[in-house]
Structure 1
């Protein structure tokens, strides 16, 4: 029978990939095992009193993935004994009032045992909040897995203090990753606010509150012609890279679109030589014409598409955007002293810089990259799609890339003005 157990072996095997699951004891009526995806397990007495269902967290040893079979068997024995004691207590009370003051008093004391750990609540946060409200929920999952759970995942969520948050942030700052530090702070602020909303933190104090963000130095990195050639070579079919990954990087260079839009591109989004995006980071629907270089990349990707995705992860789902960043980390860039390594985001800046050098103004550059206009009134009332202008800009950029990568001669190609 699903979601039941009979002995300590059944308890050890009980697992779930949901925020939590209940397993019924087949030999002790009313005894249940609450199981969390982290492997933590607690015993619950489920009973009815005065017509209302009650759930009582038993004061039996907590079970973890490290618990031995002997420890699990001992915890089960104690839990069954406690249920028997409580049944006797309830049955001995006045039959008319059906009051249970001892157990109800104990519930308040023992409720702390039911407070989830940070790792357990992370599952709730992802399921109940991030995946429902954030297009970038996979980035939240990555940050939690890398920068939070390995360090404070085992802590009860209501025991996390400001000093613990600062320790996490200091790790990113010491690594020189101020942008990543600020993203981590933003996530932790939302994470603990959601815990307060769910009633998991009774004090209503958010440990990530009133911690200031560090000032970020704006990047002005633009790839040089040599670096573009190096990136193209590193993403060739002779590389050891997964084909979807290397083609995704190439399309990002050719089109200047965001990583999140590249990895979620679907075959159905491509109609002829136009790529339409209904959902984008800034919430604005967007469409761009595809040049010959872009169409060549897409046609090369089509045989490897899965579940409708042009550039799927190896498991067939949406590729994580950080996978693209890892390619840039592997390339042996020839950096001058004090020069920072390029990132995928620098490809957008490289495209815009290139379009500027090709005499396309900021207005058309923003239309190509789908940046919001500062004057929202213009955006609201001007519904022209500028497709012809975007096509001219991207075709000029394509010719510039071909000349840079393959050495073709084009009279209307000018060198980039590299930001200093």
Structure 2
């Protein structure tokens, strides 16, 4: 017997009691029409859409719009609120697929989870590019000294690979494969990128961009083994660097690199230094922002005072070195010396090694370098004052000058490399 579809019509505003139902099948759904189009009867109420309710799942229905578009919907109550959710288009989902989705959603509702809230929260999830920008501006710049490296890695590796993907769509397999791909050429860089990913996802959960139940896909990715780099310059190499420094035209880069070798400081800490932190009269230099998180004061030797006094003052800035980097100058030095495998940080390691070789105790060297391990063995270092540190740096500076001396004699007998 043919079904009289018009008798089962329900409008958007119709109460549950007034709903009439029919057993939805594919053939029935294909015949469903908006009532005004179906009968041409002007007495049929005109609603934004009309709804045909199912007999099998009572909260399930097909909604038909005046345009002829049809979609599956679910009507439910969750935590005292009446909700209506679109499941999908009838032209995309089969009736069986729609019913299966509805059954899964109804289980969530019984557990107190509102499917519409979940969907709305998912729509708020940012893409990797969007959150990367937030991460750098709101987190990395404030809390990570390495934020510039973070930004470089995000723009070089992460955004080109995953930029348009939503944060919650990334899975551990994606991160693991990405880690392996970078690791083919640079295992250490791969480890750093994966650790950055792990931190980003953690922050996203803290800020509410991802649910607290979200499983961090970067957590548990096995890192590549890393070997500690133990490159220490020989005296012959230091002499060659001294010659190249004399020939370097950038006075700020030249002096910053020379000071790094004299003091054993990180080059980044030297480049961030301001004149207000230098006391040439008392011969001290305060470094308020160090990797260890603690300010560090170093005594200045006669040689390092001379280097600082030789620097041209730039009245437009408070910084001692009005340059962002010594990278180009260092590349020129490496090329001139033929020491292509050395890094700027090797100067710090070499300064420490030279002091130890000259009989200066490890305790004093650690004090000079402001190693973070100092906090672990504070009892050992507590008695170390400025005098032995000054003696150590004075001895080391004279050694550097003596090594640079042959080079300066050949180029005019300069006493200091500046």
Report if TM-score (shorter chain) is over 0.5: yes
The aligned residue for residue 358 of structure 1 is: 358
Aligned counterparts of 1:325 and 1:408: Cα–Cα separation in 2: 23
Aligned: 1:142 with 2:146: no
**What corresponds to 1:90 in structure 2?**
none
Structure-1 residue corresponding to 2:277: 269
Q: 2:174 aligns with which of 156, 164, 167?
A: 164
Cα distance change of structure 1 residues 259 and 185 upon mapping to structure 2, 3 Å threshold: farther
TM-score (norm 2): 0.62
Question: Aligned pair in 2 of structure 1 residues 279, 375: CA closer, same or farther (>3 Å)?
Answer: closer
Give the superposed CA RMSD: 3.2
- Flag the 1:305–1:187 CA change in 2: closer, same or farther, 3 A: farther
Task: Report Cα offsets for 1:123-178 as digits up to 9, x if no partner.
Answer: 21122222222233233222222332233223222222223323443344222x43
**Maintained 8 Å contact 1:402/1:408:** no
**Equivalent in the alignment of 1:288:** 298
State the distance in 1 between where 2:180 and 2:377 align.
Answer: 42
* Residue 338 of structure 2 is aligned to residue 334 of structure 1: yes
Counterpart residue number, 1:260: 268
SS of the aligned residue for 1:360 comes to coil
Residue 110 of structure 1: how far off its partner (Å): 5.7
Q: Which residue of 2 aligns with 1:185?
A: 194
* Match status 1:194 vs 2:194: no
Matching of residues 39-58 of structure 1 within 5 Å: none
**Aligned-partner Cα distance in 2 for 1:206–1:128:** 20
Picking from 102, 113, 118, the partner of 2:128 is: 118
Question: Partner residue of 1:4?
Answer: none
Larger Rg computed on CA atoms:
2
Alignment CA distance shift 1:165-1:192 (3 Å): same
Counterparts of 1:297 and 1:306 in 2: how far apart (Å)?
Answer: 21
Q: 1:374 to 1:381 in 2, by over 3 A?
A: closer
In 2, Cα distance between equivalents of 1:191 and 1:113? 19
Task: Give the direction of change, closer, same or farther, for the CA distance of 1:213–1:108 in structure 2 (3 Å limit).
Answer: closer
Q: Structure 1's 118 and 246: CA in aligned 2 closer, same or farther, altered over 3 A?
A: farther
Counterpart selection for 2:253 from 245, 250, 255: 245
2:8 matched residue in structure 1: none
What's the counterpart of residue 397 of structure 2? 398
Q: Distance in 1 between matches of 2:189 and 2:125?
A: 29
TM-score normalised by structure 1 residue count: 0.62
> Mapping of 1:2-41 within 5 angstroms?
none
Taking a change above 3 Å as real, the CA distance of residues 195 and 357 of structure 1, as seen in their structure-2 partners, is same
Q: Which residue is equivalent to 1:376?
A: 376
Is 2:374–2:381's contact at 8 Å kept on the other side of the alignment? no
In 1, distance between residues paired with 2:163 and 2:320? 35
Residues 354/144 of structure 1: CA separation in 2 closer, same or farther (3 Å cut): same
Deviation of the 1:187 alpha carbon = 1.5
Alpha-carbon displacement from aligned partner over 1:71-115 (angstroms, at most 9, x marks no partner) = xxxxxxxxxxxxxxxxxxxxxxxxxxxx99679997864654442
Counterpart for residue 106 of structure 2: none
For residues 100 and 168 of structure 1, what CA distance do their matches in structure 2 show? 41
Between the two proteins, the alignment pairs up a number of residues equal to: 296
Counterparts of 2:175 and 2:158 in 1: how far apart (Å)?
Answer: 9
Residue by residue over 1:366-398, the C-alpha shift from the partner in whole angstroms, topping out at 9 and shown as x without a partner, is 11111144673634992x552111111111111
Q: For structure 2, which runs of at least 5 residues remain unmatched after alignment?
A: 1-81, 87-113, 409-418
Q: CA deviation at 1:362?
A: 0.7
Unaligned runs of at least 5 residues, structure 1: 1-98, 314-318, 410-420
Q: Distance in 2 between matches of 1:101 and 1:329?
A: 65
Alignment match, 1:68:
none
Counterpart for residue 220 of structure 1 = 230
1:374/1:252 CA distance change after superposition, 3 Å: closer
What residue is the counterpart of 1:70 in the other structure?
none
Please point out which of 312, 315, 322 is paired with 1:312.
Answer: 322
Partner SS, residue 303 of structure 1: coil
For 2:373 and 2:119, locate their aligned partners in 1 and report how far apart those are by CA, in whole Å. Answer: 56
> Counterpart of 1:413?
none
Q: Distance in 2 between matches of 1:375 and 1:201?
A: 36
Q: Please state how far the C-alpha of 1:401 moved relative to its aligned partner.
A: 1.1
* Deviation at residue 209 of structure 1 after TM alignment: 0.6
